[in-house]
Amino acid sequence: MKILLIHSDYLRYQVKKKTPVAEEITDEMKDGEMEECLSVFTAVEESDEGKVEKVIEKGVKEITDTAEELDVKKIMIYPYAHLSSELGDPETAVDVLKGLEDSLSEDYKVHRSPFGWYKAFQLSCKGHPLSELSKEIMVEEDSEEEEVISKALEAEETLESRWGVLEEDGSFHEVEIDGDEVIGYDFQGNKDLEDFFVYEAGKKKKSGEKSPHVDLMRRHELVDYESGSDPGNLRYYPKGRMIKGLLEEFVSEKTREYGAMEIESPVMYDLNHPTLKKYLDRFPERQYQIETPDKSVFLRFAACFGQFLMGHDMTVSYRQLPVRLYELTRYSFRMEQRGELTGLRRLRAFTMPDSHALCGNMKQAEEEMMTRMDLAINVLDQIGIELPETLELGIRCTEDFFEENKDHLVEIVKNYGKPALIEIWDERFFYYVMKYEFNYIDKLGRASALVTDQLDVENAERYGITYVDEEGEEKHPYLLHLSPSGAIERVIFTLLEQAGMQEERGDKPTFPYWLAPTQLRFVPISDDQLEYVEGLEKKFDHVRTDIDDTDRTVGKKIRQAEKEWIPFVAVIGPKEVESGKLSVRIRGEEKEKEMGVEELKTLLEEKQGGMAFRSLPLPKYLTDRPTFVG
């Protein structure tokens, strides 16, 4: 690209006639005038094709360097094909011109003259030695792509913070590790909270022990590694896909009931989009980057981009706040390091329910955060993760926020129902001043965050998200970032880890009834009862039933049902056919129960409650089923 930079008293233009390559324009672009400005005449060239982002980046630097030297705050971008005899295609030219406009608008008042129109113009040049400068923007081919590491991720390495425990009565105890001893708080009776602190403080010793859920997810033919894909991208067998789908449906329905409007947004975004690029630098994760024929892109790591860009285009009144948006991102991507990838606990591709709320002031943001916390507690409790017993509450905030908003933090702790670990930063490196998390502490002492909500004080301004207040003035809202369950994969991980702990204690592990792939198995003693069982099975609507029609003995059939953690098993022999009663084995109970059909149906309806339901994910007869994991 070639540019001619002229320090101008003024530049005025008026559109006269359309050319065959003209872009579509609004009436506002048909004429324009700017005084005391830097006029930037541009010609986009053939060599710029396929390198739009880098051309924009270099062009912006040249223009801003000159503008700063001249102390100019206004820029007029003017397409001028006569600067080059090797012009690029019109699409590339418009992309570059719009990119320059968007990027420069962050810090300057910018007007762009339309591309592809004949125009009359008047220009007055200042006439000093720096008033006319010509530049050529050259972009060399990269020999090797470098990983883009966010500034927030780099900052995290040097982050200074102190740790403490905040109790429900508001008392705060600073904690630290002295050698192998944790001092400052008596963790007796709450080993998980202590393990949480040790892990988060980076003092957890590595263990060679394997996470129990990895064996369970394969043993139950739910999920498996996929050697044909990138590491951290998994395959889901029918039973695993059903469980994942039910969780997705349930969490989405509960979030819609809370009042969030469900949207859908793209899975990939321009790595060099000026607003997104600044956000990436404030997000402490590695990006999953790919090259398309047109540009460098990153795969989203949350629904923030789509919802914020949508928020930028919305018209919002203070009367409508809080505005709640929601998307189930299947999938989100993070370039986790290969050594960090573990089964369902840490992935490169995951499903994240993501809800953002626009709030008018701090008071409204704090009230909305409490409403959303109640939503999250309710969601996890109904899924089958008991709170507060199962998860530990973590809070992270700046020193200033802690001092000014401690009452709000105590309210969060009270609402959760037990003491929380709190990390207090000396200064803010991220886009949020505070967030809370619900963390599962596994048997290896590692913390895995599920629910999180963040109080964002940057992105509304960065993305140009506004609302109109009572006086008719535009204001930037606070933004809240909630995942009401955490990543769906991590929810499954937690359920399996809980089950693994039950198994280790000698208890009978179970899936929550509403997630059990088979909820009721019919076991005929012989083929003589098969026809009767087939008729009986049809009476159980809204129950995932299957039939063990294999030639195994009854004992082996029952043991197989035990291995699959099937919650209800009905054994049918000649006695049951004659009496019409069922001999039912309920998982976790010692003795069989004799039950009538209607009695069992009622019990199963109560177990299902109002939870999401899907039909059996596999063929009804066991002999018709393939084996997915040998």
Binned average pLDDT, 10 residues per bin, the chain of 630 residues: 94 92 89 94 89 91 90 94 88 93 93 93 87 81 45 59 95 93 92 94 71 93 93 95 98 98 93 72 67 85 90 96 96 81 90 97 97 98 94 96 96 97 90 95 92 95 94 96 97 95 90 97 94 94 96 95 97 94 93 94 96 97 93
Options 3.40.50.300, 3.30.1120.130, 3.40.1350.10, 3.40.50.800; CATH for 513-624 is 3.40.50.800
For the chain, how big is the Rg over CA atoms in Å? 31
Using one digit for the tens of pLDDT, what is the confidence trace for 459-498?
Answer: 999 899 999 999 999 999 999 999 999 999 999 999 999 9
Fold adopted by 2-136: D-tyrosyl-trna(Tyr) Deacylase; Chain: A; (3.50.80)
pTM, to two decimals: 0.75
What is residue 429's predicted lDDT score, i.e. its pLDDT? 78
Q: Are 437 and 394 in contact (CB under 8 A)?
A: yes
Is the link from the previous residue into 353 a cis peptide, with omega within 30 of 0? Answer: no
DSSP 204: P
The residue ranges of every structural domain in the chain are 2-136, 154-206+252-488, 513-624
What is residue 49's predicted lDDT score, i.e. its pLDDT? 85
Largest CA distance in the chain: 108
Tokens representing 254?
């509960």
Q: Which residues pair with 483 in a beta bridge?
A: 452
Q: Is 529 helix (H, G, I), strand (E, B) or coil?
A: helix
Q: Is 578 exposed, middle or buried (0-12, 13-18, 19+ CB in 10 A)?
A: exposed
What is residue 143's predicted lDDT score, i.e. its pLDDT? 36
What is residue 203's predicted lDDT score, i.e. its pLDDT? 76
What is residue 146's predicted lDDT score, i.e. its pLDDT? 44
Q: Which residues of 143-165 are buried (b: 16+ CB within 10 A; e: fewer)?
A: eeeeebebebbebeeeeebebbb
Q: Which residues of 273-310 are buried (b: 16+ CB within 10 A; e: fewer)?
A: bbbbbbbbbbbbbbbbbeeeeebbbbbbbbbbbbbbbb
User: 31-43 and 74-79: which strand pairing?
Assistant: parallel
Q: Are 63 and 3 in contact (CB under 8 A)?
A: yes
What is residue 569's predicted lDDT score, i.e. its pLDDT? 97
Q: Are 109 and 12 in contact (CB under 8 A)?
A: no
Q: Is 150 helix (H, G, I), strand (E, B) or coil?
A: coil
Fold adopted by 154-206+252-488: BirA Bifunctional Protein; domain 2 (3.30.930)
